[in-house]
Amino acid sequence: MRNLFALCLCLAGLQATAATFQDLQEQYKAQARQDNPAFGGFSSARGKSFYEAKRTRSSGKQSGCFDCHTADPTQPGKTHANKTIDPMAVSANPKRFTDLKKSEKWFRRNCTDLLGRACTAQEKGDFIEFLAHYK
Ligand code: HEC
């Protein structure tokens, strides 16, 4: 009985660490369908435009996702405090978008910062779609 309990714990742990970007996309898909019954899937092209869009912060300064994550997401980025950020493209950094909690934390922070609101599930899914297939 005790062994069975240990096995269950181990399997639960595996599930928590073995997520893939596809797992995250499934979650965002479910949310996007709830938000919009006419949801038609994620688009890498829309994700690209979102990534490259110039936004005006409340301070009036222009910025965008590319600002810290660089115009070429296979390259390491930089925070405004000059700390290195690992590449965003999954091809260059397979750890990207494998932890829903982490992705949610940073979407919340960066979307609030740049858009003044939370990103929608559609926007998050498009963003991941773009970076998951970027070569
Ligand atoms: C001011 C700098 C900055 C800007 C601008 C920025 N980010 Fe980030 N972002 C970070 C940092 C720092 C991290 C965390 C370090 C890491 O994951 O390597 C991060 C991580 C992320 C992650 C986590 C990815 C994962 O591994 O799950 C997502 C999602 C994200 N950012 C989305 C965005 C989006 C969307 C935008 C544009 C609306 C954006 N970021 C703009 C600094 C920035």
Instruction: Tell me the pLDDT tens digit for each residue of 17-63.
Output: 569 999 999 999 999 999 999 999 999 999 999 999 999 987 889 99
pLDDT mean over 69-96? 97
Tell me which residue of 31, 42, 52 sits closest to 129, measured CA to CA.
42
Question: Nearest C-alpha to atom 3 of ligand 1 is from which residue?
Answer: 68
pLDDT mean over 9-14? 53
Cβ-contact 39, 90 below 8 angstroms: no
Kindly state the percentage of the chain with pLDDT values over 70. Answer: 87
Whole-number Å distance, alpha carbon 28 to ligand 1 midpoint, is: 17
User: How far apart are the C-alpha atoms of 14 and 39, rounded to whole Å?
Assistant: 31
* Residue 2: predicted pLDDT: 64
Q: For ligand 1, which residues put their CB under 6 angstroms from it?
A: 63, 65, 67-69, 79-80, 85-86, 96-97, 99, 102-103, 106-107, 110-111, 114, 127
| Ligand 1 atom closest to the CA of 111, numbered from 1 | 38
Of 70 and 3, the one with more pLDDT: 70
User: How far apart are the C-alpha atoms of 102 and 122, rounded to whole Å?
Assistant: 18
Whole-number Å distance, alpha carbon 128 to ligand 1 midpoint, is: 12
pLDDT for residue 3 is more than 90: no
130, with CB counted inside 10 A (0-12, 13-18, 19+), is buried
